[in-house]
Amino acid sequence: MNELVQIERDAYGVKGVVSLTLNRPDAFNALSEAMLEALETALKEAGGSDARVVVLAGAGRAFCAGHDLKEMRAEPAREYYRELFARCSRMMLTIQRMPQPVIARVHGIATAAGCQLVAMCDLAVASSDARFAVSGVNLGLFCATPSVPLSRNVSRKAAFEMLVTGEFIDAHKAIERGLVNRVASPGELDDAVRKLAATIAAKPREAVAAGKGLFYRQLETGIEQAYAMASETMACNMMEDATLEGTQAFIEKRPPRWE
């Protein structure tokens, strides 16, 4: 088990769910260089496994407070910062490129690159006491890399307001703006995550994986090409054994017999 990222298989008592927990509680799970490497490794391992859903969580009082500013300030060189932000971007893109849906389990704060992490996850379930901000501007640093997924989750004006004010929004504002999917009380957060993960894990893995890949590809292209890509994806999907069984079960008015 990696110290910086705790890995649990069949998490929440659900077969096929892998939980990855950021484990720097004393530093609010700040993304140090070592944490970035450990998280990218854990994500790639989960992506290459037979897992159906991945849950990303944080240990201690917070989800993630962003980059490790003490570590960043210790080496003020442009090339160092270029490599650091490129490394972080590679880790973030790993989430989108892996076949399994990734659910962020958010409590406490998710700030700067921590908020970016929530936005990059496919889904997010937040505790009602969670708070979100892209607060780099308060230090004189515009949260440029967090702006990429943030602006793809919430409206442009809402994203830009967060970026230029650095102000926090609460969990209910986050769900209104589309940054998170569900909000639960602190005592019910794990149950809400479990229910969402179990619902997805019960679906055919191939269909979910193909759908996730297509979902992000079509978002970044024109509508005609998007339809062409989607049509090809559905044609291939229809030939999967699980899909043939599912459609036959519907015709026969019975539950599908999936493994």
The string of pLDDT tens digits covering residues 195-209 is 999 999 999 999 999
Q: What is the pTM of this model?
A: 0.94
3-class DSSP state of 54: strand
CATH topology of domain 5-201: 2-enoyl-CoA Hydratase; Chain A, domain 1 (3.90.226)
Query: In whole numbers, what is the pLDDT of the chain averaged over residues?
Result: 95
Mean pLDDT on 52-66: 98
Structure tokens that stand for 15 in this block: 């077969």
Structure tokens that stand for 122 in this block: 């496919």
Which stretch of DSSP H or E encloses residue 198?
helix 189-201
pLDDT of residue 137: 95
**Is residue 53 scored above 60 in pLDDT?**
yes
Main-chain dihedrals φ then ψ at residue 61, nearest 5 degrees: -90, -5
Say if CB 164 and CB 221 are below 8 A apart: no
pLDDT of residue 244: 83
What lies within 8 Å, CB to CB, of 96 at 6+ separation is 120, 122, 216
**Is residue 194 scored above 60 in pLDDT?**
yes
Domain boundaries in the chain? Answer: 5-201, 205-251
Tens digits of residue pLDDT in 133-159: 999 999 999 999 999 999 999 999 999
What's the pLDDT band for 18 if we cut at 50, 70, 90? Answer: very high
**Is residue 1 scored above 60 in pLDDT?**
no
Task: Check if 5-201 and 205-251 are the same fold.
Answer: no
3-class DSSP state of 112: coil
Main-chain dihedrals φ then ψ at residue 144, nearest 5 degrees: -65, -50
Distance CA 108, CA 169 (A): 12
| CATH homologous superfamily for the domain 205-251 | Lyase 2-enoyl-coa Hydratase, Chain  A, domain 2 (1.10.12.10)
User: Whats the size of the chain, residue-wise?
Assistant: 259
pLDDT of residue 2: 52
**Is residue 68 scored above 50 in pLDDT?**
yes
